[in-house]
Amino acid sequence: MPTTYSKDKIVITSKKIQEITLEIPNNIIDKNGKILIPARSQVKGRLEPASLNGKVGSQFIAEEIIFPNSMRRNINATSNIITNKGAMSKVNNNMRVLEDTAAGIGAVALISLLTGDKKINALEIFAGGSLGAVAGTLFRRKKIATVVIEPNKGDLNITLRSNFIVPDKY
């Protein structure tokens, strides 16, 4: 079944579980034209870790469908496993930057002590602190593996995994 989502892209780590709600964009009809699932029905579920042929990714697991009249039904459906890879930089927090700045200032003081320079001026302290902060940011930069999901391009279309009883009225 085709689904849509409010955003064009979801970026998630392959280890994260995330609750999301999809929408059925058009009426799902049988061969006689009877509406089985009306447009604008919502499908509640979660993205969870999954793997396909050794590739780690994410998969949508549908749990409940909510019809436009607010009637709810359990549903057993899943999307394909999405393994589109991406990478995100892990952001340094402010405390780490302060620690690195302090380390740079400490290095300036140590160098002055070792070289016999008994006077440390403000420019040396500023330069050491700045160098420490920049070096810490550069050396601590890490990439996190992510899965990039494009729900409005069919990544989260779902397939029923068991019989679904269609209500008489919506």
Residues 45 and 79 in one domain: yes
Domain membership of residue 117 as a residue range: 93-140
Residues 60 and 99 in one domain: no
Residues 128 and 98 in one domain: yes
Non-local (6+) Cβ contacts of 115 within 8 A are: none
Nearest to 144 by CA among 70, 86, 69, 73: 86
* 117 — pLDDT class (breaks 50, 70, 90): low
| pLDDT for residue 50 | 92
Residues 81 and 118 in one domain: no
Is there a domain that residue 169 lies in? no
| pLDDT for residue 67 | 95
Reduced to 3 states (helix: H, G, I; strand: E, B; else coil), residue 95 is: helix
* 123 — pLDDT class (breaks 50, 70, 90): low
Reduced to 3 states (helix: H, G, I; strand: E, B; else coil), residue 141 is: coil
Residues of the chain above pLDDT 90, percent: 47
**What does the block give as tokens for 5?**
């989502």
Apex CA 161: angle with CA 157 and CA 166, to 5°? 85
Q: Are the CB atoms for 125 and 106 separated by under 8 Å?
A: no
pLDDT in tens, 41-99: 999 999 999 988 888 899 999 999 999 999 999 999 999 999 877 654 454 455 666 66
Average pLDDT score, the chain: 81
**What does the block give as tokens for 20?**
């999301």
Give, in order, the Cα–Cα distances in Å from 29 to each of 26, 39, 52, 163: 9, 10, 31, 16
Non-local (6+) Cβ contacts of 117 within 8 A are: 111
* 125 — pLDDT class (breaks 50, 70, 90): low
Is there a domain that residue 25 lies in? yes
| pLDDT for residue 108 | 61
Read off the pLDDT of each residue in 25-29 and give the average, rounded to a whole number. 95
For residue 124, report the phi and psi dihedrals to the nearest 5 degrees: -65, -40
Residues 21 and 57 in one domain: yes
CATH of residue 52's domain is 2.40.128.260
Residues 25 and 66 in one domain: yes
Residues 106 and 26 in one domain: no
| pLDDT for residue 15 | 85
Residues 67 and 16 in one domain: yes
Residues 55 and 98 in one domain: no
Residues 48 and 108 in one domain: no
